[in-house]
């Protein structure tokens, strides 16, 4: 596994690397099989909720086992870690990247906490992502009813004072499902891109029209997060098995279909992000 800064190196050439949120073995296998088939780098992301449910050791060793069968770059990333203790545990356990999410805090507190994460990550030779601005929706079981777009000037200050390697910005996306078509603020994104030099991240990538994703990448998005669409693909795979055979009880048949759903969705996103090597 390589770190976040390394896996995003080269994205300035006009592509983005997919950040795919996983929850269990089949998710990991589906993402890695898609990466291998397309010869694309991928970021395998885990949020606090599955970490608390399965335990760090189970999930990190699942990814390490998948890595042995993969010839393309992988990054194991903590996504939306808003608990400093869990962020630090993931760094110590061997994650190759972490994201601290202090976007719900006043900017001064967000900066202070992010600096702690950056310093801790540096001790282990990895890099940190952080977020400035708020996205509406549900992420990791936590609902936010407020949104606040990223201010370009604040973004520059935030990057300069924290030393983060990657910045997640709020430019009109949301977590979860959208009511209607999301409208991205491309002028704001351009202004942020002009102010900061670090790679930029688009969270809430599920359900964003392909043309908008491509335009965001052309402007300077280097990493696109996908979670909700994978959940739908996973569940549709299982549903398809039982629609065809309601009496099916063989776990490998049921979960195998879910894994195939994940793989196909990830391949679709890799093609959209243009990250095929």
CA 258 to chain centre: 20
Tokens 């589906």 locate to 30
CA 229 to chain centre: 12
- With a CB cutoff of 8 Å and minimum separation 6, the contacts of 151 are 132, 133
By three-state DSSP, how is residue 156 classified?
A: helix
Cα radius of gyration (the chain):
18
- Identified catalytic residue from 57, 79, 218, 271: 79
Instruction: Name the β-bridge partners of 128.
Output: 98
- CA-closest candidate to residue 23, choices 79, 69, 65, 83: 79
Residue 185 falls in the annotated catalytic set: no
DSSP per-residue letters across 4-48: HHHHTTTGGGT--EEEEE--SHHHHHHHHHHHHHHT--EEEEE-H
The number of C-alpha atoms within 13 Å of 182 and in the hemisphere containing its C-beta is 28
Token pair belonging to 4: 């976040």
Distance CA 128, CA 20 (A): 17
By three-state DSSP, how is residue 171 classified?
A: coil
Give the active site residues.
Answer: 79
């Amino acid at each position: 596994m390589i770190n976040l800064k390394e896996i995003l190196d080269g994205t300035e050439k006009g592509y983005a690397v997919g950040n795919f949120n996983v929850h269990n073995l089949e998710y990991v296998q589906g993402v890695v099989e898609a990466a291998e088939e397309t010869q694309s780098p991928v970021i395998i992301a885990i949020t606090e909720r599955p970490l608390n449910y399965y335990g760090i050791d189970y999930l990190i060793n699942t990814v390490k086992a998948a890595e042995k069968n993969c010839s393309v770059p992988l990054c194991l990333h903590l996504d939306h870690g808003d608990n400093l203790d869990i962020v630090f545990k993931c760094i110590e356990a061997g994650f190759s990247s972490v994201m601290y999410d202090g976007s719900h805090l006043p900017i001064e507190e967000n900066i202070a906490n992010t600096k702690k994460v950056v310093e801790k990550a540096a001790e282990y030779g990895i890099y940190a992502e952080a977020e400035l601005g708020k996205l509406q929706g549900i992420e990791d079981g936590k609902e936010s009813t407020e949104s606040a777009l990223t201010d370009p000037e604040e973004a520059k200050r935030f990057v300069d004072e924290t030393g983060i390697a990657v910045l997640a910005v709020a430019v009109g996306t949301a977590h979860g499902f959208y009511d209607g078509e999301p409208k991205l603020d491309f002028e704001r994104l351009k202004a942020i891109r002009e102010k900061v030099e670090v790679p930029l991240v688009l969270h809430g990538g599920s359900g964003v029209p392909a043309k908008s994703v491509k335009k965001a990448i052309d402007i300077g998005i280097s990493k696109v997060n996908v979670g909700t669409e994978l959940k739908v693909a996973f569940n549709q795979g299982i549903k398809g098995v039982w629609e065809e055979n309601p009496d099916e009880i063989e776990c490998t048949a049921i979960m195998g279909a879910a894994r195939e759903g994940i793989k196909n969705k990830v391949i679709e996103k890799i093609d959209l992000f243009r990250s095929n090597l």
